Amino acid sequence: MSHVIVVGAGQAGASCVAKLRSEGFDGDITLIGSEPALPYQRPPLSKKYLLGEMELERLFLRPETFYEQNNISLRLGETVDGIDPIARTVSLGKTTLQYDELVLATGSHPRHLPESIGGTLDNVFTMRDLADADAMAPHFAEGKHVLVVGGGYIGLEAAAVAASKGLKVTLVEMADRILQRVAAAETSDYFRTLHSSHGVDIREGVGLQNLVGDEQVTGAVLSDGSELSVDFVIVGVGITPGVSLAEKAKLEIDNGIQTDAHGRTSDAHIWAAGDCASFPYRGDRIRLESVPNAIDQAEVVAQNIMGAGKDYVAKPWFWSDQYDVKLQIAGLNAGFDTVIVRDGDEGSQSVWYYKGDELLAVDAMNAPRDYMIGKRLIEAGKSPSPERVRNPETDMKALLKA
Ligand code: FAD
């Protein structure tokens, strides 16, 4: 009988073990995770869970009974600290476990601010796991002043929760505009307007110089010299892939644990999926940080462990919730040169990205129809002309037939 060990009990790890069983794998399965909680979904941590509108139980991907009934051995609160690819073992402290196939689903880690600028003061939080959300939640009290460092999705979502709960919110973004790394100026404009209308003080092109405080943060000095007094700080300045275990095992790393199209790493019996993995995509190599990617890639890995020989063909999509706006993104906009904006009813909007004549991606703000149409077009490799998309008279659904 064979034994599959999955390291990392997050979205990818949990999807992989479930898929193995649903595909009929009858060997042993062990899912090992550093966090004590059952595998859970992270997106609500910066949305409904932080708002206090979602119970802990609803975060869990599956109840504990699922793992029992499917004979999946869960080892939670345990960390794998080494892999021996020759002996095919993993170590957890003094315990050694033998595997036939190993899946690395180690996720990613938030970047922290350096200690030299006050990054380790009390009440300076990052937002990655349940413990982070639980630690910061009690500070979300009306009238408190929070400084959010970083205007990416995590920072903006946290700012939206804070503003909705009546906190005073200042958000600093070192780049010229919020969402600069991931979106066109038009999408940044939309979210700047949205946040400003909820009273968030967004300062773009302004970095954090240093935080102030003895043990606990009490203030911040910004790169333009301005000083703020703050009660707590949320740092959302990006993540780094969890590659340290793979690195120690001498696996190939390339902006993540390098895999082939099947999800196999440079070792024939070790696979990787989710935030930690970089994989071939349209002649290039990418790494995605999203729930759909973690699920789909992990499921393909499960199938390939069982011999399917299937390529993982990513169909990138993503979402973010801020106030009453649902942003849905289809495709990847890297390399775009033209942007088309379509305005809809009641403040809805979609932003279409082109490279030459090729439709790359769509950002849809409260525009689910545009998202759905854009996603189907992109996945089918269809590119309606920018002129047709720009024209308010165009029947968008008809684009699918063209
Ligand atoms: P993770 O879910 O991070 O799981 C990795 C797990 O591995 C962790 O529990 C970690 O503790 C464990 N681990 C690591 N090393 C070891 C080890 N050596 N031994 C044992 N265990 C180990 N995506 C979206 O698509 N839409 C969203 O709206 C969205 N919102 C988000 C909001 C927040 C606050 C965060 C943090 C992420 C959000 N994401 C969103 C991203 C999404 O949650 C991640 O892309 C997804 O969780 C990746 O899954 P994963 O399994 O690769 O990694």
Domain CATH number, residue 301 = 3.50.50.60
Identity of the amino acid at 341: V
pLDDT, position 345: 87
Structure tokens at 324: 């009453």
pLDDT for 143-197, tens place per residue? 999 999 999 999 999 999 999 999 999 999 999 999 999 999 999 999 999 999 9
- Ligand 1, atom nearest to 12 Cα: 51
Domain assignment present for 310 = no
* DSSP helix/strand/coil, 45: helix
Looking at the structure, do residues 208 and 281 belong to the same domain, yes or no?
no
Indicate whether 128 belongs to any domain.
yes
Q: Give the number of the atom of ligand 1 that is nearest the alpha carbon of residue 8.
A: 7
Residue 57 lies in a domain: yes
Q: Span 33-58, mean pLDDT?
A: 97
Cβ neighbours for 121, distance < 8 A, ≥ 6 positions apart: 211, 213, 215, 216, 217
* Number of domains into which the chain is organized: 3
Residues 81 and 122 in one domain: no
Q: How far apart are CA 229 and CA 89, in angstroms?
A: 51
CA distances from 345 to 144, 319, 365 (A): 35, 20, 11
In this structure, are 231 and 256 located in the same domain?
no
Our mutation pick for probing the ligand 1 site, out of 257, 290, 321, counting the most ligand atoms within 8 A of Cβ, is 290
Flag whether pLDDT at 248 surpasses 70: yes
CA distances from 145 to 84, 332, 399 (A): 49, 35, 47
**123 and 226 share one domain:** yes
Based on the fold, state whether residues 143 and 54 are members of the same structural domain. Answer: no
- Count how many Cα atoms sit within 13 Å of the Cα of residue 270 in the half-sphere of its side chain: 27
- Measured from the CA of 108, which atom of ligand 1 is nearest? 3
pLDDT surpassing 80 at residue 1: no
Distance (Å) from CA 37 to ligand 1 centroid: 13
The encoded tokens of residue 291 equal: 């729930």
pLDDT of residue 388: 92
For ligand 1, mutation pick of 17, 111, 243, 291 (most atoms within 8 Å of CB): 291
Angstrom distance (rounded) from CA 84 to CA 90:
6
Residue 214 structure tokens: 């003895």
Averaged over 216-226, what is the pLDDT?
Answer: 97
98-116 per-position pLDDT tens digit: 999 999 999 999 999 999 9
Residue indicated by tokens 């165009």: 394
Flag whether 263 is in a domain: yes
Range of the domain at 80: 3-109+239-305
Reported as a single tens digit per residue, the pLDDT across 254-277 is: 999 999 999 999 999 999 999 999
Q: Are residues 116 and 105 in the same domain?
A: no
Dump strand ranges (E) for 302-357: 317-322, 325-331, 338-343, 349-355
Confidence at 402, pLDDT banded by 50, 70, 90 = low
11 Cα–ligand 1 center, Å = 6
The tens digit of pLDDT for each residue in 46-92 reads: 999 999 999 999 999 999 999 999 999 999 999 999 999 999 999 99
Asked whether residue 54 falls in the same domain as residue 92, the answer is yes
Last residue of a domain, one of 193, 217, 235: 235
Query: In percent, how much of the chain has pLDDT > 90?
Result: 95
**Mutation choice for ligand 1 from 11, 130, 300, CB with most ligand atoms inside 8 A:** 11
**CB 389 within 8 Å of CB 342:** yes
Q: Last residue of some domain: 305, 332, 348?
A: 305
| Ligand 1 atom with the shortest distance to the CA of 14 | 51
